């Protein structure tokens, strides 16, 4: 499976967390605003955030279920916290 196809299938889904963690992604690295992945995914859902998901889905030329993304965010945050606690 090509990289973009995998990204399309995993975008906005909890499975991507496992894939990234298995690939050695950092849960403590901060972005330019000083936020870790846990901080980012723990933030409140907003129209601005939904717009960002729509933007990236457009770049990937894929359909996106925003309700599913919003539903999965708390579980993703929980998984990231658990992983961080083990480190």
Q: How far apart are CA 18 and CA 26, in angstroms?
A: 12
Residue 87 has pLDDT above 80, yes or no: no
Residue 18 has pLDDT above 90, yes or no: no
Only one residue has tokens 């403590």, namely 28
Only one residue has tokens 């995993």, namely 10
Confidence (pTM): 0.74
- Section 9-36 average pLDDT: 81
Q: Where are the beta strands (DSSP E) in the chain?
A: none
* % of the chain with per-residue pLDDT over 70: 85
b/e map of 38-72 (b: 16 or more CB within 10 Å)?
bebbbeeeeeebeeebeeebeeeeeebeeeebeeb
């Amino acid at each position: 499976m090509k990289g973009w196809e995998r990204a399309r299938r995993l975008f906005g889904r909890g499975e991507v967390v496992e894939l990234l963690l298995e690939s050695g992604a950092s849960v403590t690295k901060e972005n330019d605003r000083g936020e870790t992945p846990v901080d980012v995914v723990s933030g409140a859902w907003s129209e601005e955030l939904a717009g960002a998901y729509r933007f990236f889905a457009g770049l990937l030329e894929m359909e996106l279920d925003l309700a599913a993304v919003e539903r999965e965010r708390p579980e993703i945050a929980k998984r990231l916290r658990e992983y961080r606690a083990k480190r």
